[in-house]
Amino acid sequence: MLHNHLWSLRRLLTGGNAIMSTPTGYSLRLRQGASDLDVFVTETALARSVLSTGDATRASEGFRRALSLWRGPALGGTHSELQATEGAALEEQRLAALIGRVEADLSLGRHSELIGELRLLVTEHPLNEKLRGQLMLALHRTGRTAEALEEFRICRRHFRDELGLEPGEEVARIHQTILSGDSASGTATVGQAPPAPHVPRQLPADVSRFTGRVEKLRQLDMLLSGEEGSTTVVISAIAGTPGVGKTALATHWGHRVSARFPDGQLYINLHGYSRGRAITGGQALGRLLRGLGVVEDKIPHDLDERAALYRSLLAGRRMLIVLDNAAAPDQVRPLLPGSSPSRVVITSRDALRGLSVTHDVHGISLDVLPAGEAIALLNNFLGGSEAAREADVIAELARLCGYLPLALRLAAAQLAGGSPARIREFVGKLRQENRLTVLDLDEDPGIGVRTALEVSYRSLPAQARRVFRILSLHPGPSIGLDAVAALSGLPPENAAATVETLVTTHLLQEDSERRLSMHDLVRVYAEERCADDEAADDRDDALTRTLDWYRHSVLKAMDHLSPVDTTSLAIAPVDGTPDFPGFDEAMAWLEREHHTLVAVIVHAARRDRHIHAWQTFSRLSWFFYARNHLDDLLMTGEIALSSARLIGDRSGEAEILSDLGYAKMFTGRYAENLSHQEEALEIRRTSGDRVGEAKALRHVSYALYLAGHPARAIELGEQGLTLNRSLGNRIDEFATMDTLAISYFTMGRFGEALKILSECVSHWRETGREYDEAYCLIQLGLVHAKLKEPAPALDCLQQALLLGRDQGNQRIEVDALNGIATVLRQQERYREALDHHEQALDLARSLRSRPVEGEMLCSLAETCLTGGDAQTALEHYRDAARYADEENDVYQQGFAHEGLGNTLRALGRTAEAAEHWEAAFGIFAPMGVPQADEIKKRMLEAGLS
């Protein structure tokens, strides 16, 4: 019953995959925003953000919405240990939200309403100084000053008795404010220092229609979370590629939190990446001192003296200092305060890692905008026209701008007030022409994306400039360090050092796996520079080195996954390709390079490197197949087939036809599979390739079996077996025996299947071919099950399951789990059988293969029926029949109709059962398989002719 309930829940929940089986039970997967905790964290973060801008009304509402989600103590009803750890942490978050809400309400003058609540909270949390201070303020501001002072005395006595300490600075300051007789009705934060005589306000104007960057603003807000009154300077460095919006972020944040810096803001553009010379430390200090009110004749000439005066003036002052467009750590160090509660924000295209050696720097790496925020930015500018309703066009415009804020604003500037037709025309130009040129403003070319990138490029050393250019020739979305060495022709250590330079200047991006990539518009600029500055022969040589490197690397990796004789490919070894100790390392490399390898095949064909295209695909096809990358297998297979035909390589054409056939087989296109395999066989025979002919006979045999012709499949399979034995080709001999065993099994020739499968398992094990061994064990287990031998059946299937999991091959796991469920059903261990069925079905759905999912549903339905749940079985059989019809899978059509007949008969609906039995008989009888006789017997037993 548990499994039936789970099945019903899965059907009700969106997508059907929310409940997942795990080795220890079941888990519920929630999308973002689907849990109360997720909503609570989001709401409180937003409330704090708007409170920092002075919008107390929205902040109070946000905190209240977040707190309304609580229904009792955190993790109530769970184990006490979990409540004491995770629950305590959640309670702290709840208390922080309460304090934030009270702060907002105090700002709104809701003093009287807060007193009772605050007394209760102070009683619950007597050592929380923030709550005590809020209670004192509420009492004071309602004219109950004596009670406010009494609260301070209680607090002091409690702290002395319990901790041997005096109350903290914040409570003491509030106490002093009350004693000084400040107005009780004020809502401003008590204890704020009076403004200095000269308060600079140097921030540039806030960026119009600033959009997004919520997380980065939150990170900057953390700069304000330090202990009040601390004299440790807090520094944040915002780094990112040209045009990504570093200055805009720093300026916008500065305006948002300006109230938190009563002593003002200093701003200086250091021109680290400008066409002119960067500002020196002495020049920068002079400007900053003038901003602090120092008259010209009082500014020292000596750099150290200037720095000392600067630090002295900042001591004790709470200011925001924005050092924009820095070039290097040495330029910045003299401009940092010494002992000061000020905050410093630095922007640079360089990561400024050296600054972290001497100072505590909070680094913020700024990337391009997420797609949604980029679209929102464009709509903010274009929303006044009908263009904002052109959602698809605006989305493509954002993509073609590379989601880079500078590019988005340049596009918006050219399109402001434009019609939808004008926007579509502009998008068409971006798609077809040089995007950097299209985005340039004719009247102000100095602010374009190309200009911004040019400054960074010209600042690079010569070798870094060359590698930057050459990287634009790489066809993939990302590249590893070893491939950079191959592409550039540099020794690995030189390539690594050069890449480091490009990463620190944000012309290259590096992910957590050390994969490197370029933003779209940066790549366009690199392509320009490569076309202008690299000779055509040098570009061709770099591309050839790269394609050779990937082809040979794939060859080495696939030798661990699916070893075959590749001498006919005549692929020469290449220096610098990775070494793979074993299967796991080879598979991990292929997974990392997956999308790049697809791009390599496509690019090789486009550049008329057809031998690279088809040979790389030929060795890679098994990986695509085993890892269920069927879309990639089909797409690159068609390209490789075209390449092989263009250069007249008949052997390559036959190889690829066979691979494509298997890809189409797995998507249920059995007739196309058979056509491809027969065409490949004809090529092998025409060219006199006897080894290839033997292999092709095996492929045609399996295709015939899948197409519903098992007798003919046995005939061609036996021909192939005879030919392989005459050629002494042991690998293909046993592979053909594997294929024959499936057809023998289907025709009820279980003894013959058992014999050859036993031989195959031994051979595959001896030769270390674990993939072939696993599939062979599955077939052998199913034969034992048919022969009513459950112990050896389970042993074989469980061995196969372990092999599949070791290889990360989910298709092997699906078949092994389903086979185990079949044996457990025979043993009437229905609960265990259903559990294995559900695991198999979950995995089958993740493979996105209708034929496999339909097969799993059929098997699950049979277990439900045998276990006495005919109604659930009926639902599963109907789903299986629908899938089989969609894919034109004749075997599964037959099994589904047979199962529907059996189920309807069990439900007493014999007339309906007869229709399905007749349909199943019509499918199986022409095949000559035993199921036809079984169905005929069942119909006679039911009194049907």
Give 25-55 pLDDT, tens digit per residue.
666 665 555 677 777 877 787 777 667 667 7
Please determine, for residue 781, whether its predicted confidence score (pLDDT) is greater than 60. Answer: yes
Read off the pLDDT band of 602 (50, 70, 90): very high
| Cβ-based neighbours of 586, under 8 Å, separated by 6 or more | 556, 557, 558, 559, 560, 561, 580
Distance spanning both ends of the chain, measured CA to CA: 37
Which one is predicted more confidently, 366 or 597?
A: 597
Give 481-532 pLDDT, tens digit per residue.
999 999 999 999 999 999 999 988 888 888 878 899 888 888 988 999 999 9
Which one is predicted more confidently, 79 or 188?
A: 79
Return the pLDDT at 377.
Answer: 86
Give 671-686 pLDDT, tens digit per residue.
899 999 999 999 999 9
How far is it, in rounded angstroms, from Cα 311 to Cα 292?
11
Name the token pair of 474: 């790489």
| Highest mean pLDDT (candidates 409-423, 550-564, 857-871) | 857-871
Tell me the H-state helices in 459-609: 462-471, 481-488, 492-504, 520-533, 536-561, 583-606
Name the residue among 132, 134, 127 with its Cα closest to residue 102: 134
Return the pLDDT at 174.
Answer: 87
For the entire predicted model, the pTM comes to: 0.64
| Cβ-based neighbours of 619, under 8 Å, separated by 6 or more | 551, 554, 555, 558, 566, 569
| Cβ-based neighbours of 253, under 8 Å, separated by 6 or more | 217, 220, 221, 345
For strands 516-517 and 509-510, give the pairing: antiparallel
Sign (positive/negative) of CA torsion 111, 113, 116, 119?
negative
| Cβ-based neighbours of 298, under 8 Å, separated by 6 or more | none
Return the pLDDT at 25.
Answer: 64
| Cβ-based neighbours of 500, under 8 Å, separated by 6 or more | none
Return the pLDDT at 232.
Answer: 60
User: Contact at 8 Å (CB) between 314 and 291?
Assistant: no
User: Contact at 8 Å (CB) between 707 and 661?
Assistant: no
User: Contact at 8 Å (CB) between 265 and 200?
Assistant: yes
User: Contact at 8 Å (CB) between 408 and 377?
Assistant: yes
Please determine, for residue 382, whether its predicted confidence score (pLDDT) is greater than 60. Answer: yes
How far is it, in rounded angstroms, from Cα 132 to Cα 115?
11
How far is it, in rounded angstroms, from Cα 97 to Cα 556?
57
Name the residue among 474, 548, 551, 478 with its Cα closest to residue 510: 478
Give 264-295 pLDDT, tens digit per residue.
899 998 888 766 677 888 889 988 988 888 88
Which one is predicted more confidently, 4 or 124?
A: 124
Tell me which residue has tokens 């299209």: 438
Return the pLDDT at 700.
Answer: 96
Return the pLDDT at 24.
Answer: 59
Give 802-841 pLDDT, tens digit per residue.
999 988 888 899 999 999 999 999 999 999 999 999 999 9
Tell me the H-state helices in 68-168: 80-82, 88-107, 111-124, 129-141, 145-163
Return the pLDDT at 164.
Answer: 72
Return the pLDDT at 8.
Answer: 64
| Cβ-based neighbours of 282, under 8 Å, separated by 6 or more | 303, 306
Please determine, for residue 931, whether its predicted confidence score (pLDDT) is greater than 80. Answer: yes
Return the pLDDT at 185.
Answer: 40
Give the lowest-confidence range in 2-16, 302-316, 930-944.
2-16
For strands 25-28 and 509-510, give the pairing: unpaired
Read off the pLDDT band of 390 (50, 70, 90): confident
Compute the half-sphere exposure of residue 188: CA atoms within 13 Å on the CB side of its CA. 11
Return the pLDDT at 33.
Answer: 53
Compute the half-sphere exposure of residue 535: CA atoms within 13 Å on the CB side of its CA. 3
How far is it, in rounded angstroms, from Cα 43 to Cα 63?
7
Provide the residue count of the chain.
Answer: 945
List phi, psi (to 5°) of 521: -75, -30
E strand spans, 327-379:
343-348, 361-366
Please determine, for residue 384, whether its predicted confidence score (pLDDT) is greater than 60. Answer: no
How far is it, in rounded angstroms, from Cα 210 to Cα 408?
12
Read off the pLDDT band of 186 (50, 70, 90): very low
Give the lowest-confidence range in 457-466, 613-622, 875-884, 933-942.
933-942
Lateral strand order in the sheet of 320-326 = 265-269, 320-326, 343-348, 234-240, 361-366
Give 216-245 pLDDT, tens digit per residue.
888 888 888 754 545 566 788 888 888 888
| Cβ-based neighbours of 758, under 8 Å, separated by 6 or more | 780
Q: What is the DSSP letter of 351?
A: -
Name the token pair of 12: 């009700």
- Beta-bridge partners for 343: 234, 320
Chain centroid to CA 573: 34
How far is it, in rounded angstroms, from Cα 207 to Cα 209?
6
DSSP 159-190: HHHHHS-PPPHHHHHHHHHHHTT--TT--SPT
Angle between helices 36-52 and 56-67 in degrees, nearest 10: 160
**What are all long-range contacts of 583-586, with beta carbons under 8 Å and residues at least 24 apart?**
583/770, 583/807, 585/560, 586/556, 586/557, 586/558, 586/559, 586/560, 586/561
User: Contact at 8 Å (CB) between 907 and 873?
Assistant: no
Q: Cα 144–150–155 angle (5° rounding)?
A: 130
- The predicted model gives 883-910 an average pLDDT of 89
DSSP 419-470: -HHHHHHHHHHHHHS-HHHHHS-TT-GGGSHHHHHHHHHHTS-HHHHHHHHH
Q: Residue 876, SS3?
A: helix
Read off the pLDDT band of 193 (50, 70, 90): very low
Return the pLDDT at 545.
Answer: 94
Return the pLDDT at 146.
Answer: 85
Q: Cα 754–759–765 angle (5° rounding)?
A: 125
SS percent in the chain: helix, strand, coil, step 5: 70, 5, 25
